[in-house]
Amino acid sequence: MFTLLMIVVPLAGGLVAMALPGLRARLVASLAAAATALLGLWVALAFGPDLASGAASRLDFSLPWIPGWGLSFSLCLDGLSLALVILTVLVSPVALLVATRKAGPGPDRRSSVLYGLILAMEAGLVGVFAARDAVVFYLFWELALVPIYFIAAFWGGEKRLPVTLKFFVYTVVGSLFMLFGIIYVHGYAGGSFALSSFQAAKLPSGVAPWIMACFALAFAIKMPLFPFHTWQSDTYHEAPAAGTILLAALMAKMGLYGVLRWMLPVFPEAFGAFQTVFVVLGLIGVIWGSLAALAQKDMKRLLAWSSFAHTGLMAAGIFSLGLVGLQGGLVQMLAHGLSIAGLFLAVDIFEERTGSRLIGAVGGLAHRNGAFAVLFMLLVLSAIGLPLTAGFVGEFLLLLSLSKLGLWWALAGGLGVILGAVLYLQWARKSFFGPSPDKVPAFKLRNSEAIALGALAVAGLALGIYPKPLLVLAGPALEAIARIAGAR
């Protein structure tokens, strides 16, 4: 029931917000986002110990939909789902804040729609992480896409239309293949769309790799995994700040979650045969993304490419299949979600106050606002994986898991991490340190900006210093996946 509430509250709040003008829309949207976040945290506290002990989840909800076809509207949260839901309900308010912080008092209808779409996306994301029925999963998978398409195509930059068209077509083509895969597996799953039936389905061994490829395509495009990343940099660049945060911090996680939940457990044998291919694709992404990021002048593009590299490392670690790799993947998903949301917010603040997003156009910002520089550095340190930050825990576990697969794999991943450190520190040096800028006056952060940046940075630190609660919470769920996927 609480699971359903976390979908219904943002969705209803979003719809109401769309219908209201100006500040009232902002109020309703903020309330809905805050209520969902509080609900998520409360659920984690109340049900977390239960889930950590491996007991059957009581956070489930099921309603028959088309019984003749074994289709039911079933949701359930286990530790893995809950962890990602928490990330969603914490980051979505940040995206909303980015959208609302500049809003004036006027009756601006267009902004109301933006708030509504952000909340609709939040509902879709929670649904994706909670779905336990393949069709319901697909439904929320698409429900999360439509709002972000409208956000990017409406509030985006100059070249938004061709860029978002490519993004939309790319992702929907992937989804259509997944839909076909779902329909096909259904035939072998005893006429049911339930996750448990999908896991029990025995596909003919000649067909299974193809059907897995249908799922893998949808997930690879969403992450994105090399070579399906060509939409990413442009879309992140053109989307407005709120949209980029949703895309990078949350939507990319849908693909990784899909792999964990719907690909590895459903096609363990088929995946085993092609494991190396997937690991290599992930690692190519790590190197490729890091090198491309080094060459970028625009901060948003730098973050986009570095995000691609980070996602590649997460994917490679998850594909290495050990429990350690899965744990590392989960920690890094949260770490990356928190830091990248903060960094995109920082870029937006940077652009608003200095008038430019180009690295090197303005330097020495630390002289103008020290607090901003400190918060930015905390986020950067988590992004490059310094010890005591969440990024360190995640990357360490991922590399450890890769090294069990082969030392060279781990070295390739490690190279990406080093390149990442180089590029972030260069960026920080050029933009925040050095002589104080002439043109830019001293500025203050808005309260909302300071709170959001601070919360994201502190959450990243907390997760880095003491990641155990997260690992314990998701332990049984990840162990189950590792067991099924490893027992081929």
Partner 1 sequence: MSLYVLLPVLAVLVLFAYLGRLRPFAFPLAVTGLAVAAVLAFFRIGLDHELLAGMAEFDGYAAAFSALLIVATLLTVILLHTPSGKTEVPRGEKIALLVFSLTGAVMLTSYTNLVMLFLGIEILSIPVYVLAGTRKSDAGGNEAALKYFLNGSFATGILLFGIGLVYAGTGQFRLEGILAWTGANAVGIHPLFHLGLLFILFGLAFKVSAAPFHFWTPDVYEGAPTAVTAYMGTVVKVAAFAAFYRLLARALPSVSEAWVWILATLAVLTLLVGNLGALAQGGFKRLMAYAGISHAGYLLIALMATGSMATGALWIYAAAYSAATMIAFVAWARVEEGGGSDRIEAFAGLRSRSPFLAFGLAVAFLSLIGVPPLGGFFGKLLVFGNAVGQGQTALVVFAVLMSAVSLTYYLRPLIQAWFHEAKAAAPLPLRAAEVIVVGTCLLVLLGLAALPDLLISSF
Given the rule CB under 8 A, which residues bind partner 1? 64-69, 135, 138-139, 142-143, 146, 150, 153-154, 160-161, 165, 168-169, 172-173, 176-177, 179-180, 183-184, 186-187
Q: How far is the CB of 119 from partner 1 (least distance, A)?
A: 17
**Whose Cβ is closer to partner 1: residue 11's or residue 315's?**
11
**Cα 24–Cα 155–Cα 150 angle in degrees, nearest 5:** 90
**Whose Cβ is closer to partner 1: residue 42's or residue 180's?**
180
AA letter at 359: I
The percent helix, strand, coil of the chain (3-state, each to 5) is 75, 5, 20
Contact 316, 329 (CB under 8 A): no
Instruction: Name the DSSP letter for residue 71.
Output: E
Q: How far is the CB of 355 from partner 1 (least distance, A)?
A: 26
Find the helix packing angle between 79-100 and 109-130, rounded to 10°: 170
Residue 198 token pair: 């999908």
Q: How far is the CB of 20 from partner 1 (least distance, A)?
A: 14
Helix (H, G, I), strand (E, B) or coil at 145: helix
Residue 19 token pair: 């219908």
Other beta carbons within 10 angstroms of residue 174's beta carbon come to: 23
Q: How far is the CB of 179 from partner 1 (least distance, A)?
A: 7
Q: How far is the CB of 187 from partner 1 (least distance, A)?
A: 6
State how far the Cα of 182 lies from the Cα of 69, in Å rounded to an integer.
13
**Whose Cβ is closer to partner 1: residue 112's or residue 332's?**
112
State how far the Cα of 79 lies from the Cα of 92, in Å rounded to an integer.
20
Contact 240, 152 (CB under 8 A): yes
Q: How far is the CB of 61 from partner 1 (least distance, A)?
A: 16
Q: How far is the CB of 331 from partner 1 (least distance, A)?
A: 32
**Whose Cβ is closer to partner 1: residue 160's or residue 253's?**
160
AA letter at 464: G
**Whose Cβ is closer to partner 1: residue 101's or residue 186's?**
186
**Whose Cβ is closer to partner 1: residue 69's or residue 466's?**
69
Contact 312, 289 (CB under 8 A): yes
Residue 286 token pair: 């790590």
**Whose Cβ is closer to partner 1: residue 125's or residue 334's?**
125
